[in-house]
Amino acid sequence: DAGVIQSPRHEVTEMGQEVTLRCKPISGHNSLFWYRQTMMRGLELLIYFNNNVPIDDSGMPEDRFSAKMPNASFSTLKIQPSEPRDSAVYFCASFPGVTEAFFGQGTRLTVV
Amino acid sequence: GDSVTQMEGPVTLSEEAFLTINCTYTATGYPSLFWYVQYPGEGLQLLLKATKADDKGSNKGFEATYRKETTSFHLEKGSVQVSDSAVYFCALSDRNTGNQFYFGTGTSLTVIP
- Which residue of B36, B103, B107, B108 is the best one to mutate when testing the A interface, meaning the one whose CB has the most A CBs within 10 A? B103
Alpha-carbon gap: A18 to the closest alpha carbon of chain B (Å): 24
pLDDT in tens for each of the 113 residues of chain B? 888 999 888 999 999 999 999 999 999 888 999 999 999 888 999 999 999 999 999 999 999 999 999 999 999 999 999 999 999 999 998 877 666 788 898 999 999 99
Instruction: Give the residue from chain A lying closest to B102, CA to CA.
Output: A45
pLDDT of residue A1: 67
pLDDT of residue A83: 97
pLDDT band at A2 (very low <50, low <70, confident <90, very high): confident
| Res A7 pLDDT > 70 | yes
A48 part of contact set with chain B, CB < 8 Å: yes
Report the amino acid identity of residue A99: T
Distance CA A62, CA A58 (A): 9
3-state secondary structure chain B: CCEEEECCCCEEEECCCCEEECEEEECCCCCEEEEEEECCCCCEEEEEEECCCCCEEEECCEEEECECCCCECCEEECCCCHHHCEEEEEEEEEHHHCCEEEECCCEEEEEEC
Is A101 in Cβ contact with B101 (below 8 Å)? yes
Contact yes or no for B22/B72 (Cβ under 8 A): yes
Measuring CA to CA, how many Å separate B50 from each of A3, B47, B102? Answer: 22, 11, 15
Is B98 in Cβ contact with A101 (below 8 Å)? no
Distance CA B30, CA B107 (A): 24
Contact yes or no for A32/A25 (Cβ under 8 A): yes
Residues of A in contact with B91 (CB under 8 A): 101
Contact yes or no for A64/A74 (Cβ under 8 A): no
Residues of A in contact with B99 (CB under 8 A): 31, 50, 95, 97
What percent of chain A has pLDDT above 90?
80
**pLDDT tens track for A59-88:** 998 899 999 999 999 999 999 999 999 999
